[in-house]
Amino acid sequence: MFRTYAESRGLTTPRTFTAALADFRKGSADWFDGSLGSVDQRMSKCSKLLHSAQTAAASDPATHLAAIAELSADHTALKNLREDLLTGASGREAGYTPPGQRLAKRLVPEDRRWVALEGAKFFAAQEDARHNVAEMAERARRHAEVATSGLPPRRAQLLTAAFEEAIATQARLTPRPRTASRRPVFTAFPDSQMFL
């Protein structure tokens, strides 16, 4: 591919960081064409701008810290998009959609009592996935389908949905267990900020 004299000498590139950042922002709506190459090109531009901002932050940190934060977020999003394109987003967890809204209000008191008591026993027995809403909802649905299999179909369906909703709500309120007990070390600042 042939280039003009101005392109080969770098005369068409923006001369300042502000102009380069403005060009990067201007192309933010129409850069993606569905290919991995477009993500790589955008990521390359973002990396160059981020490096320029980090280098310039040594002399003037106040004006460049906001740009560094913005470009770091863009770079992370582009990296995640690239990974999703390569793997087909296979590393993502499935979400959970609740079966209905406040089904417990439509239950008779006897069924409401069964949902509360059976839900407490069931939730206490599930030690390995209490924080995972989608997994707990699926387990609750299967448990309730077996437990209510002898009831009339409409009542069994309503009880199953209410039980699933109650367990999913309880799982949503359960915090994810911590896997590390040490405090995280902040290392996200550039080396140039060490001498500020």
Distance CA 129, CA 125 (A): 10
- Domain limits of the chain? 5-87, 103-173
**pLDDT profile of the chain (196 residues), mean per 10:** 62 68 86 88 92 84 84 91 82 63 75 90 88 88 92 89 89 78 71 73
Torsion (CA) 130, 134, 139, 145 in degrees, nearest 10? 140
Provide the pLDDT for residue 141: 92
- For 60-94, what is each residue's pLDDT tens digit? 777 788 888 899 999 999 998 888 888 876 766 66
Taking the CA atoms of the chain, what radius of gyration do you get in angstroms?
Answer: 27
Provide the pLDDT for residue 97: 63
Provide the pLDDT for residue 47: 92
CB 175 within 8 A of CB 131: yes
> Does the global pTM surpass 0.85?
no
CA distances from 6 to 2, 10, 14, 17, 153 (A): 12, 6, 12, 19, 77
Provide the pLDDT for residue 59: 78
